[in-house]
Amino acid sequence: MSEIHGHVCGPAVYELEGVEIEYNPWYNPPTVLRKDGEAKQRLTAHDKAVLDRFYTLAADDKAIEQYRVGGGCQPF
């Protein structure tokens, strides 16, 4: 029996200044997450400021990777 290799991909999760952000550059804009992992419906001023900083960092893939805490493509 041969081994099957592949990837499972989902949105990457980043943590920046205590705010978790889910981001998949191909499908959706960045989403601020609540503590339970669901998307926040209302953003605070702090959330909006962090999103502005995230947009700046996301323009450079290497700069944003240091804030990644999960998600993205995982090999199996």
Decide if pLDDT at 72 tops 70.
yes
Tokens of 61: 């893939």
**Residue ranges per domain, the chain?**
29-70
Per the CB < 8 A criterion, the answer to whether 33 and 40 are in contact is: yes
| Mean pLDDT computed over 40-46 | 95
> For the segment 18-29, what is each residue's pLDDT rounded down to a tens digit?
999 998 877 778
Which burial class, exposed, middle or buried, applies to 50 when counting CB atoms under 10 A from its CB (0-12, 13-18, 19+)?
buried
> For the segment 59-70, what is each residue's pLDDT rounded down to a tens digit?
887 888 899 998
Per the CB < 8 A criterion, the answer to whether 69 and 6 are in contact is: no
pTM (2 d.p.)? 0.81
